[in-house]
Structure 1
Amino acid sequence: MAEFDYMQKAMAEYDKLNHSELRVGVLDKSGSFLQMIAIVNNNGCHIHAKNYPKLRIPVRLPNGRTGYVFKESVVIPARRFMEKTIMDNEQRWISYMETGAMRIASEPNVTADDVMNNLGRSIVQQMKQEMTDWKTPSNAPLTIQNKGRDDPLIDKGKLRASISYQIIEK
């Protein structure tokens, strides 16, 4: 009887897995500034002056003061950190889910939530590491001057810190 009861629990957990979706990224639903920064960095963007003849770009001067450089447009190259995270780790995630499904069947205390939450935390860490490790294309000379380093996907770390996951029912 205990085996039968456990099989019902395992089947319910499989059903929950089948009706769950894991989302990873900048998940603020309000259309936040950080979502826009993530999209621009991932996909690249050509930014043109709109309301004025030229863009006004702040630049840190050697004396610590702020000056400005004026340009008609700037190109931010694509740095596809999201896709690279997927390409580099997808097989690992599939293996993890296969192992997680086996654990649900063989370990009474393992749940679909456990499996999905562990995978979510792992993907978040992998994406953050990808952002930290990203080197090419490098920052523009003006950006390097402003940041004081060539670290294409990290400025103050707010974008990296905003990467999170959520599990939704589908």
Structure 2
Amino acid sequence: MLNLDLIGFQDLQDAVSKELATLRSNKTVTVGIHEEAGDVESGDITMAGLGATHEFGAEVKHPGGTSYGYASKAAADRDEVRFLKTGSGYMELGVTKPHNITIPARPWLEPGVAGATPKILDAIEAGMAADQPMDQILETVGVIAAGEVKIYMTELRTPANAASTVRKKGSDNPLINEGHLRQSVTHKVIGDPVTEGLE
């Protein structure tokens, strides 16, 4: 499952750990896609697994058998070949053979959290100055970090989707189709050791 101990990033560790150490607590805030997010709509992969695929990239062995050809007479006149739903379109030219599909890494979690560092440090400082309880400070940190990750995901444009994917989605944002992945980004404040997440 993909989620991270917020203070696990090297660029955040020293600054945040120094502030949190003064609070003497064994609690942790995690930010990411937690187990509770469940599966994607198709059921082929968990939401956390999809997030990990985007974060690190993947190599998918496709069995082949996807139809391709001209979707219409006008497309044939333009020699515009596309994937087709089986039995649909103007003219099928063939079906794909087994092949590998490379999904490029599009890191969204680590840079999203790292970008929240100034706001996180300000929130910790303000919470300590106001004598807020540790749980309240960590909740604030989690809300800020998860919010910044979602903003980062919304603004991400590279590596770009293939032109065929953009046509299918109607959008050039590589991480957002209907927004389910972004909506799955949450935070949790826990007292137990982190058992899910990056190894």
- TM-score, structure 2 as length reference: 0.63
1:14 and 2:27 are equivalent in the alignment: no
Q: Among residues 103, 108, 112, which one is paired with 1:85 in the alignment?
A: 112
Contact 2:55 2:109 in 1 (8 A): yes
Name the residue aligned to 1:70.
96
Contact 1:24 1:165 in 2 (8 A): yes
C-alpha distance 145-111 of structure 1, shift in aligned 2 (>3 A): same
Structure 1 residue 129, shift from structure 2 partner: 0.7
Name the residue aligned to 1:39.
52
Which sections of structure 2, spanning at least 5 residues, go unmatched?
1-21, 40-45, 73-83, 87-94, 193-199
What is the identity, as a one-letter code, of the residue corresponding to 2:29?
Answer: L
Q: How many residues align?
A: 145
Structure 1 residue 67, shift from structure 2 partner: 2.0
CA distance, structure 1, for counterparts of residue 60 and residue 48 of structure 2: 17
SS at match of 1:14: coil
CA distance, structure 2, for counterparts of residue 57 and residue 130 of structure 1: 35
- Superposed, 1:1-170 pairs within 5 Å as 14-15=23-24, 18-29=25-36, 32=39, 33-49=46-62, 52=63, 54=64, 56=66, 67=85, 70=96, 72-104=99-131, 110-170=132-192
Which sections of structure 1, spanning at least 5 residues, go unmatched?
1-12, 105-109
What is the identity, as a one-letter code, of the residue corresponding to 2:114?
Answer: M
C-alpha distance 75-86 of structure 1, shift in aligned 2 (>3 A): same
Q: How much is the aligned-residue C-alpha RMSD, in angstroms?
A: 2.8
Contact 2:66 2:96 in 1 (8 A): yes
CA distance, structure 2, for counterparts of residue 97 and residue 132 of structure 1: 26
C-alpha distance 73-119 of structure 1, shift in aligned 2 (>3 A): same
Greater helix fraction, Structure 1 or Structure 2: 1
CA distance, structure 2, for counterparts of residue 57 and residue 121 of structure 1: 45
Contact 1:48 1:55 in 2 (8 A): no
Percent identity over paired residues: 24
Contact 2:112 2:150 in 1 (8 A): no
CA distance, structure 2, for counterparts of residue 150 and residue 56 of structure 1: 23
CA distance, structure 2, for counterparts of residue 101 and residue 55 of structure 1: 60
- TM-score, structure 1 as length reference: 0.73
More contact order relative to length (CA 8 Å, sep ≥ 6) = 1
CA distance, structure 1, for counterparts of residue 67 and residue 127 of structure 2: 50
